[in-house]
Amino acid sequence: MTVWAVTLAATLAALLGFRFAVRRGLAPKRVPHDRTPADLGLAFDAVRIPTARGRRLYAWFVPAESAAPAPVALVMHGWGGNAAMMLPLVPALHAAGLAVLLIDARCHGHSDEDDFASLPRFAEDIDHALAWLRHCPQADAHRIALVGHSVGAGAVLLAASRRDDVAAVVSLAAFSHPEAMMRRLLAHKRVPYLPLGWLVLRYVEHVIGHRFDDIAPVTTIAAIRCPTLLLHGVQDTTVPPSEARLIHAARSGEHVRLRIIAASHDDFGHPQDIAAEVAELTGFLRKALTEPA
């Protein structure tokens, strides 16, 4: 074998190893559900929603008490999460008169596997869940809010920035920019930014088909026109609250509100610890979805 052939083979092996390491290192952990809405005393339907690339999402639809088509909160979990992790928010939303649709993103929970997950694919899944709701007789298609946590928060902001048919948005602990979030992750894994970390970030942009600048919440917030609530915990060590302030500063108007609360990144899954803030969240949605503009 010539030196050229050996060099080529070594280069290809290195590239394949790099690709495998990045995809494996960044892939979300699939966590099974540990409960359902029935554990909270709520009736629900388990549904399958078609999404991109022929995949299907697993979701729970919790109807409102009202027999008439009701306003809906579509809830998206964060990276490595699932619909069950967002269940603690549902009783308050249901008590406010809302139906709730909780979805598992692709590669998460009980939804189909795909070749990779990403913030834009979370947003795609939200788009398809919205399409499903528009044919659901128990949902009022003109009064749908998006609620997302962490990466799911970035996804609801991205989805809402591209649509004019979302009535309200609630972002729970969103990061301001994917690159900032990934640089923190790489630093935690002790991956030096130059040159390896920089290569990882550029490779991820290539794979997901989007520049981080274009999908960053600090960018998408400016295109959102509906009432929007940014909630962020002052004790959040995963995403510093300064990032919520950056998103808020980039808003296009006063329809975007920011609340920094006494919570950590994951306290939104434990609403008993932030009861006043959950009441504010539901009050915000009730006003946006049930009161005349």
Q: What is the pLDDT of residue 15?
A: 42
Q: Which residues contact 208 (CB under 8 A, 6 or more apart)?
A: 116, 118, 119, 120, 121
Strand partners of residue 48: 58
CATH fold, domain 40-170+259-290, is Rossmann fold (3.40.50)
Q: Residue 254: exposed, middle, or buried by beta-carbon count in 10 A (0-12, 13-18, 19+)?
A: exposed
- State pLDDT tens for residues 261-292: 988 998 776 666 667 778 889 999 999 997 64
Q: What is the pLDDT of residue 293?
A: 46
Mean pLDDT in order along the chain per 10 residues (293 residues): 47 42 67 96 97 96 92 97 94 95 98 96 98 96 96 98 97 96 90 91 95 98 98 94 98 97 81 75 91 54
Q: What is the pLDDT of residue 269?
A: 64
Q: What is the pLDDT of residue 66?
A: 85
Q: How many residues does the chain have?
A: 293
Q: What is the pLDDT of residue 3?
A: 52
CB 76 within 8 A of CB 105: yes
Q: What is the pLDDT of residue 189?
A: 86
Q: Which residues contact 248 (CB under 8 A, 6 or more apart)?
A: 221, 230, 256, 258
Q: What is the pLDDT of residue 272?
A: 65
CB 201 within 8 A of CB 259: no
Instruction: Give backbone dihedrals phi and psi of 93, rounded to 5 degrees, phi first.
Output: -65, -40
Write out the H or E segment, with its range, that includes residue 230: strand 228-233
Domain range summary for the chain, segments of one domain joined by +: 40-170+259-290
